[in-house]
Every structure is written in C-alpha cells, then in structure tokens.
Structure 1
Amino acid sequence: MKHLLPLALLAACADPDPAPPASLTLSPNGYRADGDQCRLAFETESTVEYLDDAADLVACPADMENLGVFALDTGGVEVARIAGYVLYSVPVR
C-alpha cells in the first residue's frame, strides 16, 4: 500500500485530462479507391465543427507514409488530429 500512495498523490495533483474525443465514424471504403487508407469521416461529436458542404472530411492514419502526397493530390487542408487520424477538408467543388 505504501507504494501506491505516491502515485495517488501524483494523480490527484496532475491536471485532469480533457475528455477523450468521441470515436470517429469512418466509411468502410477507401476515400479515393478500395484499399486506400484514408476514409470519409462522418459526423460525430468530434468532427461536427470541421464539416463543410463544399468539402469532404477525410481521415487518414497519422502514421501514413504519404500524407503529404494525399494533401497535394486532393487539395486537402489539414483541419485536425483526432484519435490517431489526421482530418483533411478536401474540396469537392
């Protein structure tokens, strides 16, 4: 028990973590083609502020090797990083 006391004190003194984001709801299909790691992101509590009727909201894994290429190819602009994904607003018009 004496080993747990310092941990409990540290936890009590630490700043509380912000609430975790609602899980992302992603399309089961790749955004540009089957097998694409990027997926269309649907409206959730975490994404609602990034939705735009003139753009698709696309989530790509943050560790994806070619994130820069995706942004260049699609004209996507990074708008957020949530739950291990980078969210891009990709213009459709």
Structure 2
Amino acid sequence: MPETRFTVRWPDGRTEELYSPSTVIHDHLSAGVTYPLAEFTDRCRAALEQASLRVEAKYGFRCTSADAQLARIERTVRDFSPPADVVCLSIS
C-alpha cells in the first residue's frame, strides 16, 4: 500500500506531519483547506479507518500505525476548544 503523509497546522500554529497507510486520505482531506476541528477529526477518523480496513483486506490484519495515528489526532484535538480550525497544508 502506498503510504501517504499529510501536514497540518494546528490551532496553536504548530505544524505536524501525519501518516496514512493509504492514499485514501485524498478522499477525505484536501491540501490548502481549513477545517473546523470537529470536522477535521471526523474526516481523519473516516479516512484512517478506511485505510486500516484496506490493509486488513490485503494482509489479514489492521494497520496499527493508522490506529495509533488516529488516537494521537484525537488526543491532540482535546487540547483545543471550538471554534478552532485545522489547516491541511499538504498531502504527499
């Protein structure tokens, strides 16, 4: 599976490179787009779940890296209060 990295800017101005084990992230996020915090979380949850299921279909087990990345995103967003936005800076 072609892994994909996506870089975001959190509401506090910090940037971070995130991981998806699949290009499916392109179906859920777009570079240069600002997302409300809750929407960003929902989109990442859907994308990383779908990516993990793709890995499971191909290899017989879920992608623990995708599951860990989602858990990290969910922990990070708890540090911010709405209204807050996340910017997807790039996807590669």
Structure 1-normalised TM-score? Answer: 0.29
State the structure with more CA Rg: 1
Higher share of residues assigned helix? 2
Structure 2-normalised TM-score? Answer: 0.29
